[in-house]
Chains A and B, each alone.
Chain A
């Protein structure tokens, strides 16, 4: 190698190393399991550009990769991640591994100026009384969406903002009779377990776990099998995100996560309306989904991380996230005028849902730790066996309730809302 080349290479290497060191000096690394799709990540970066406390590097990640990275950083003692943004369900593993700072003081200082949703703050304590594992960042939930053509078949006297499940079934029947095709759609391949846990069971039984094999639960399964499912598009077994079937016209009315309905409202806001999920005999069960912000012990810049969390919870940033990314605020005082049409339509349905007098908020399972996925399968199995395989309802519910009880006993999980709090492991009645 010529001497000149070598010098040049050495110079470039020094520049590169210096660059990374300086960049690390005042860059705050924000690792998030949300917005890890390219377009969303770009919007998130644009919002973060307004942060004045330094440059923020927004890195999208899958859940498992995030957990592995944080564990590895804790083992080596050398960290790169300052702030993490993740679903409530990601935190139990991080809590078990004892990886996160207590953010009680930070939250108290934020709450001096802004009111943060109390229910979510409570969730962020992960069952403890005085350890704030995460500060709520934003929320989402599930709503219904309908094509405007479907409204003409709405049963007489039914109020779309206060529907019952029975009226939805009637509506489905009317649409099928008029169009010759089943027009209701559910994401059975997607987040269907949340429909069962947060909507079907609470609406009919008032609980999620404790009433799993009650008479009301049997009646709910019978309703799903005999009254609702005949009018649900059979292709639902292959639906993952409902925006696709809505846009292609395979179904006219659908249930899904707001983020998974959003593309339909973005693309054709004039064609679709959003409305609250229906109510059952026990009330209007619904499941808020919460995303939290936490700081790992290994954060190289905890002051910067705290400043960034403060910024993320300001009403301005929360408004920007709602406007550009369609996730809902967790603080009060957010300006919701001037929203894009699609976002405004969905926000209306979410607010109507949360404020409806018979609402039963059902939380994501708490206290199951790494076995949180197992409860999803228990609910799905119960549904599959009754509706798709035609097994006897009470037998299925008894058997799956036994599996559920084993899971609760082995993890020692106490009951969570909407079930009443329990001493010790939650018990299926």
Chain B
């Protein structure tokens, strides 16, 4: 009988632990946030104490009548006292029957703790329940459609441009012409710049008093600065985003392509030259087919990153007229705006599903091609 090979699994274990701890666990948590709602209800207590037996349950925002109150004091470490009130209240529960019991001040809103005769239930114990409300709220939000559409439009515009440019740039570097090292520095410069910084940089180019308008006006091509970034002309804003993204993120594709190019044996290309293949033929029939694995890696990487495009869009366009999925995620998460992490988690889950789906599709496409080639 063959012995079970333990060593490979032991070697995999650290990375598995890492993945579970820092990817799988937060992912499950975030999906839960999107699909589970915290319901709240308030237990009325038989006695004015948190551990007393519950005598009934009230829903949030129920109006209650205050029958009696009990004031106790807690002495704080700084020597002051803090009053703690319990109220004996009467109210109708969800079933319509009148119940009586005690509630703590922290669970009701009351205008005057010493005098008011009515109060309102504002908090209580939480329960968890499954819900599709947050997903529904995401899908019915009027920005959802345009965010999804713009994200996909940007991918469709940016990716092909980036790949054509990256291959040309890589070939320039590979050609060993004089000064190709300088090109290497120029091409890889944007790699070191954060996406927000590059968004701000391009904003300063396209803004009304920006570099581009100053240039066009000073050379006499325009009489007045042209406003590129405006709600009335979204084409210009999309064009600006595409330019900024292509400038910023093409070099990472180029780096992958260069490493792929270096893996192609010179012999193969020289053999092609010997048989009289011109530059285009060498590119089409030798280099591109042999680059395929690198291009596929770059494609997956870039597509996933393109679903997360955010800072460039916000810095260039303000993020209200033109919006993308990642911007909506933040709009719902931001405490100063919707402050609703549940809907934000729905967006995050949606982006993740899209990325997963696209990656699966690419991997499938690769495999079926390879299988088809093997079958030949």
Interface positions of A (Cβ within 8 A of B): 63-64, 77-79, 96, 98, 101-102, 127-131, 180-181, 188-189, 233-235, 237-239, 248-250, 297-302, 370-374, 376-377, 380-381, 384-385, 387-388, 409-410, 412, 424-425
Contact = CB atoms under 8 A, between A and B. Distances in A.
Given A249-B209, A388-B320, A412-B109, 11 more contacts: A130-B113, A188-B318, A233-B227, A235-B207, A297-B82, A374-B339, A376-B336, A388-B231, A412-B61, A424-B63, A425-B61
Contacts of B110: 128
A412 B122 contact: yes
Contacts, number: 120
B38 to A, nearest CB: 12
B208 interface: yes
Contact of A188 (B76, B116, B320): B320
Contacts of B82: 101, 297
Contacts of A384: 320-321
A248 B112 CA distance: 52
Contacts of B336: 63, 373, 376
Contacts of B111: 127-129
A181 B209 CA distance: 12
Contacts of B150: none
The residue among A127, A128, A425 with the most chain B CB atoms within 10 A of its own CB is A128
A302 B61 CA distance: 34
A373 B142 contact: no
Nearest to A249: B209
A388 B142 contact: no
Contacts of B142: 381, 385
B371 to A, nearest CB: 48
B49 to A, nearest CB: 17
Nearest to A396: B142
A371 B318 contact: no
B120 interface: yes
Contacts of B368: none
A96 B106 CA distance: 7
A385 B141 CA distance: 12
A302 B114 contact: no
Interface string B16-31: 0000000000000000
Contacts of B320: 188-189, 237, 380, 384, 388
B229 interface: yes
B56 interface: no
B88 interface: no
Contact of B225 (A79, A128, A181, A237): A181
B334 interface: yes
B340 interface: yes
Contact of A234 (B114, B232, B334): B232
Interface in B322-364: 331, 334-340
Contacts of A102: 83
B250 interface: no
11 contacts: A63-B336, A96-B123, A98-B106, A237-B321, A248-B209, A250-B209, A302-B79, A371-B339, A374-B338, A374-B340, A387-B231
A131 B339 CA distance: 27
A370 B339 contact: yes
B265 interface: no
B224 interface: yes
Contact of A377 (B83, B223, B225, B331): B331
Given A98-B106, A180-B224, A373-B334, A238 B203 contact: yes
A237 B61 CA distance: 38
Contacts of A127: 109, 111
B298 to A, nearest CB: 32
Contacts of B106: 98
A234 B231 contact: yes
B208 A250 contact: yes
A374 B141 CA distance: 13
B78 A301 contact: yes
B117 interface: no
A398 to B, nearest CB: 13
Contacts of A234: 227, 229-233
Nearest to B232: A234
A425 B62 CA distance: 12
Contact of B338 (A235, A301, A377): A377
A233 B335 CA distance: 29
Contact of B80 (A64, A233, A302, A425): A302
